[in-house]
Amino acid sequence: MHLWLRAAISSDLLLLVTEMVIIGVSLIVFLVLLCFFLGWMERKVAAFMEIRLGPNRVGPMGSMQIVADTVKLLFKEGLTPNASDKFLFNLAPGIMVVTSMLAVAPIAFAKNFQIWDVNIGVLYVSSISSMAVIGILMAGWSSSNKYSLIGAMRSGAQIVSYELSIGLSLISIVILSGSLQLSEIVESQANGWWLFKGHIPVIISFVIFVIASTAEINRAPFDLTEAEQELTGGFHTEYSGMKFAMFLLSEYINLFIVSAIAATIFLGGWMPLHIGTWASFNHIMDFIPSSIWFLGKTFFIIFIIMQFRWTFPRLRIDQLLNLEWKYLLPISMVNIIIVTAMAIFGWHF
């Protein structure tokens, strides 16, 4: 694509702008279609866990149900409370969606298929994703609603807390691979995924990452920020129409991002399953397209996170913070010391 555009466009500035527009539009279309699918998948997983059919009337196997819901949101009136800070109230959903989309940039969807192969990919994703809390706090405060404000404050405490465990889990793989660049981390798993060749400490890091990421994106059983029984709708209580849809969009994008990062860091990303010197087995695995490997691993983790919602009861806010500060964080800190020793003495495969 770059070579074709270079032949058609002589100006470097115009070429750069054209490529950025193409990438931006393609990303928006992909993420919107992805959220349609994840919305349908969410309901099907819920039905599977509760032994029922789920959506099955609007379109084949209920596949058009999420489209009907989107059309409904499009035609709903977007109300703005009179007492709200209107500028911040309208800005908050945009911040949530933009920060979510920015975090997609360094993720490798397939071999040599990546928007931005930045050399600090792990740090970039961690930094950008942590900015989502600004949109949540902005939405809660600007709504001039006590339920929204309480939900936003809970979210601030929750996200800041669980970021520590997420960071330590990612650092364990950074230590073993010796790089912050996601493409290099994937390449380091050519002879085996870190989840397998990193022994028990990496398995612990993976489990902690999945748990902490579920809390980071405010999904059940960690959805204290929008607990319906207590806070009506939490930080987005006052939102309706497409502004509310933007919050849903950002939630599903964040779900995809944390699952994609877990697949990239721990499960080799687009890298096929290779086992040591098993040349024949490894050769067969190479026939499967790299994009299929990446999406398969990512949706496997998405399925696990979706199952949490229908498996565990919602925690109280004190239980949620106790889980992080008294259990996950101390375990992560001890685990990082063990991983460092593994890297120094070469105890991993």
> Would you list the domain boundaries of the chain?
1-75, 80-345
Q: Which of 113, 37, 29 is nearest to 291 (CA)?
A: 113
Structure tokens at 311: 């498996």
CA angle 278, 280, 281 (to 5 degrees): 65
What is the number of H-type helices and E-type strands within the chain?
16, 2
Q: How far apart are CA 212 and CA 169, in angstroms?
A: 9
Tokens 């028990």 sit on residue: 200
pLDDT value at residue 230: 63
> What pLDDT, on a 0 to 100 scale, did the predictor assign at position 208?
95
Nearest to 349 by CA among 279, 277, 260: 277
If one counts every other C-beta atom within 10 angstroms of the C-beta of residue 178, the result is 10
Q: Is the peptide bond before 81 cis (omega within 30 degrees of 0)?
A: no
Locus of tokens 């959506």: 55
Provide CB contacts within 8 A for 13, sequence distance 6+: none
Distance of CA 128 to CAs 96, 242, 323, Å?
11, 23, 25
pLDDT of residue 305: 93
Q: Is residue 274 a contact partner of residue 284, using CB atoms and an 8 Å limit? A: no
pLDDT for 168 equals 93
Q: Encode burial over 40-65: b for 16+ CB neighbours within 10 A, e otherwise.
A: bbbbbbbbeeeeeebbeeeeeebebb
pLDDT of 124 reads 92
Q: What is the pTM of this model?
A: 0.91
What pLDDT is recorded for position 73?
84
Q: Are 231 and 152 in contact (CB under 8 A)?
A: no
What is the model's pLDDT at position 257?
A: 94
pLDDT at 63: 85
Neighbours of 109 (CB within 10 A): 18
pLDDT of residue 258: 93
Q: Identify the segments of the chain with pLDDT beneath 50.
A: none
Confidence (pLDDT) at 231: 64
Torsion of CA 257, 258, 260, 262, to 10 degrees: 160
How far apart (Å, rounded) are the C-alpha atoms in residues 100 and 279? 40
**pLDDT value of position 159:** 86
Contact 48, 309 (CB under 8 A): no
pLDDT at 228: 65
Report the sign of the C-alpha dihedral through residues 60, 44, 106, 70, in that order.
positive
Q: Would you state the structure tokens that stand for residue 313, as one six-digit string? A: 């009861």
Rounded CA-CA distance 186/193 in Å is 9
